[in-house]
């Protein structure tokens, strides 16, 4: 039996950060990984999806700028775009990641890790013992909804969509959340005919309604067939085609079907039963990411079900790593209020409350609206593409509670709002935060003017 201070199961972003931070603090750490060091994010999710979206976004931006537009004489080269995706995911080889672990003295154990009672992890015939703690960071897999015929129709999950070597002629996408929207737009840009079906009445339904409407407009203009408020009753595969039957009887047919309707925690085969916990669901944790009643066991990342985002898993990992070292940190950002971006064109970048979620939380909030495209910076970036920015602030105090940016390249604008929220800042305090000219950050001046109008109304 080998003994370590801490054993981490899962080398995705959450597991890697937990292991790295603990090892840098001098603890002896082992990390167990059954597939690729880097996890879903690096190889099958965040990184390849962004790589597939980027060519069309770069091309569209060049076409918006006179002088550059004249130099753009062709269309997207799908082969080259797929090759660039392969480069981003290092051809699904994690060799380049191993040096980072080695530099920190972290022992990598390849294989399926399973708990084997308290503080013990079994990997094949190896038994590892944790002197201080075990961190579970096994992530999630795609979940298939219980639609008759769906599993038999051999649909793509996000993995097949992010690793495909070909662009299907016709792609059906089930699910209009961030993953469905990103991959629908990516494949449309690479030449597929795309139809997207979403049960809610708009795309990205958890975000402000104007975000979903902006995506619907952009997608429709690009030729994506959008069906919102649509219920899928059945799916079937006939040889090379796959068909969805919608309520009402209409059928949509494609060559591939991507299902992007949610995730399932990878906790079924983790040996949880050896410590009296049932697997198959996200594992409940407290705000220090400890499993209640088991002071030696922590869960980071997607598997605790709190915020299925890489940066939030890494934040959780930093908190729990410090907790293991005896440094307690207050959890200040979590769940649906976390910073989040749908990397489509336009991008939807949001943090904190929407106006609706603030209302549901019983907060007396108001909205301040602006438009990044109506700034001097908007003449240069995202030229001619309407956008919308909304701050949600507490009535009276003017405390910033939420922000949504819908615009070309909006993702990089989000962090200013995240800082305002994390710092508990009010509109009055932000008055002196002067945005540089000519940047699209001058939208904050529009938001200040809206706040001043509110104060005088």
Ligand X SMILES: Cc1cc2nc3c(=O)[nH]c(=O)nc-3n(C[C@H](O)[C@H](O)[C@H](O)COP(=O)(O)OP(=O)(O)OC[C@H]3O[C@@H](n4cnc5c(N)ncnc54)[C@H](O)[C@@H]3O)c2cc1C
Reading phi first (left if > 0) and then psi (alpha if -120 to 50, else beta), residue 101 is in: alpha
Contact 24, 105 (CB under 8 A): no
- Give the up-direction half-sphere exposure of residue 451: CA atoms within 13 A in the CB hemisphere: 24
Contact with ligand X (CB under 6 A) among 7, 19, 30, 32: 32
Nearer to ligand X, 113 or 176 (CB): 113
Rg (CA), the chain: 23
Q: Which of residues 177-196 bind ligand X (CB under 6 A)?
A: 179
Nearer to ligand X, 10 or 398 (CB): 10
DSSP type of residue 439: S
Contact with ligand X (CB under 6 A) among 97, 101, 128, 158: 158
Q: How far is the CB of 364 from ligand X (least distance, A)?
A: 31
Nearer to ligand X, 10 or 382 (CB): 10
Contact 263, 256 (CB under 8 A): no
Contacts of 100 (CB under 8 A, 6+ apart): 16, 20
Binding of ligand X by 339 (CB under 6 A)? no
Binding string to ligand X for residues 198 to 237, with x set by CB under 6 A, is what? ----------------------------------------
Contact with ligand X (CB under 6 A) among 6, 7, 8, 11: 11
- The CA–CA distances, whole Å, from 147 to 86, 150, 235, 254, 264 equal 32, 5, 7, 17, 16
Binding of ligand X by 106 (CB under 6 A)? no
Binding of ligand X by 344 (CB under 6 A)? no
Q: How far is the CB of 302 from ligand X (least distance, A)?
A: 4
Binding string to ligand X for residues 281 to 320, with x set by CB under 6 A, is what? --------------------xxx----xxxx-x-------
Stretch that binds ligand X, among 30-38, 273-281, 286-294, 395-403 (CB under 6 A): 30-38
For residues 384 and 139, what is the distance between their CA atoms, to the nearest angstrom?
40
Binding of ligand X by 358 (CB under 6 A)? no
For residues 426 and 397, what is the distance between their CA atoms, to the nearest angstrom?
7
Helix (H) or strand (E) holding 193: strand 193-197
For residues 441 and 419, what is the distance between their CA atoms, to the nearest angstrom?
14
- Strand ranges (DSSP E) for 356-420? 365-370, 388-394, 400-407
Rounded to a whole number of angstroms, the distance between the first and last alpha carbons of the chain is 71
Binding of ligand X by 272 (CB under 6 A)? no
Nearer to ligand X, 35 or 213 (CB): 35
For residues 54 and 63, what is the distance between their CA atoms, to the nearest angstrom?
14
Q: How far is the CB of 343 from ligand X (least distance, A)?
A: 6
Q: How far is the CB of 418 from ligand X (least distance, A)?
A: 13
Binding of ligand X by 430 (CB under 6 A)? no
DSSP type of residue 190: T
Q: How far is the CB of 446 from ligand X (least distance, A)?
A: 28
The CB density around residue 251, as the number of other CB atoms within 10 Å, is 10
Contact with ligand X (CB under 6 A) among 97, 120, 188, 266: 266
Contact with ligand X (CB under 6 A) among 5, 8, 12, 226: 12
Handedness of CA 435, 441, 442, 443 (dihedral sign): negative
Nearer to ligand X, 308 or 447 (CB): 308
Q: How far is the CB of 12 from ligand X (least distance, A)?
A: 2
Contact 59, 123 (CB under 8 A): no
Contact 372, 389 (CB under 8 A): yes
Nearer to ligand X, 158 or 373 (CB): 158
* Number of chain positions touching ligand X (CB under 6 A): 38
Q: How far is the CB of 226 from ligand X (least distance, A)?
A: 19
For residues 238 and 129, what is the distance between their CA atoms, to the nearest angstrom?
51
Residues that bind ligand X (CB under 6 A): 9-15, 32-36, 39-41, 45-46, 49, 112-113, 137-140, 158, 162, 179, 266, 270, 301-303, 308-311, 313, 343
């Amino acid at each position: 039996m080998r003994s370590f201070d801490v054993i981490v199961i899962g080398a995705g972003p959450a597991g890697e950060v937990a292991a790295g931070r603990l090892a840098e603090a001098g603890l002896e750490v082992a990390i167990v990984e059954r597939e690729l060091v880097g996890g879903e994010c690096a190889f099958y999710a965040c990184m390849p999806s962004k790589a597939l979206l980027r060519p069309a976004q770069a091309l569209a931006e060049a076409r918006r700028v006179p002088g550059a537009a004249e130099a753009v004489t062709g269309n997207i080269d799908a082969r080259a775009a797929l090759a660039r995706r392969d480069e981003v995911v290092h051809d699904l080889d994690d060799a380049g990641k191993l040096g980072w672990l080695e530099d920190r003295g972290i022992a990598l154990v390849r294989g399926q890790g399973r708990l084997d009672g308290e503080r013990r992890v079994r990997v094949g015939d190896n038994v590892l013992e944790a002197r201080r703690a075990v961190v579970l960071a096994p992530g999630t897999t795609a979940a298939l909804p219980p639609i008759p015929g769906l599993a038999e129709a051999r649909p793509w999950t996000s993995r097949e969509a992010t690793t495909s070597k070909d662009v299907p002629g016709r792609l059906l996408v089930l699910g209009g959340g961030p993953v469905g929207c990103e991959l629908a737009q990516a494949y449309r840009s690479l030449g597929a005919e795309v139809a997207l079906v979403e049960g809610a009445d708009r795309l990205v339904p958890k975000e402000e309604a104007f975000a979903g409407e902006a995506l619907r407009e952009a997608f429709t203009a690009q030729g994506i067939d959008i069906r919102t408020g649509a219920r899928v009753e059945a799916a079937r595969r006939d040889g090379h085609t796959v068909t969805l039957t919608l309520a009402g009887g209409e059928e949509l047919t494609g060559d591939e079907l991507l299902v992007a309707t949610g995730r399932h925690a990878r906790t079924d085969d983790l040996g949880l039963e050896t410590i009296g916990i049932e697997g198959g669901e996200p594992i409940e944790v407290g705000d220090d990411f400890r499993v209640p009643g088991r002071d030696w066991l922590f869960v980071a990342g997607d598997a605790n079900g709190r915020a299925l985002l890489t940066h939030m898993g890494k934040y959780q990992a930093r908190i729990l790593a410090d907790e293991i070292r005896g440094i307690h940190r207050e959890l200040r950002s979590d769940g649906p209020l976390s910073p989040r971006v749908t990397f489509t064109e336009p991008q939807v970048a949001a943090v904190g409350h929407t106006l609706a979620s603030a209302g549901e939380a019983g907060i007396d909030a108001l909205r301040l609206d602006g438009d990044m495209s109506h700034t001097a910076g908007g003449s240069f970036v995202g030229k001619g593409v309407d956008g919308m920015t909304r701050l949600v602030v507490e009535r009276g105090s003017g405390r910033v509670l939420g922000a949504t940016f819908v615009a070309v390249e909006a993702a990089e604008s989000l962090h200013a709002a995240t800082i305002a929220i994390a710092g508990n800042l009010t509109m009055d305090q932000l008055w002196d935060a002067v945005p540089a000219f000519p940047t699209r950050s001058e939208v904050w001046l529009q938001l200040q003017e809206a706040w001043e109008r509110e104060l005088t109304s």
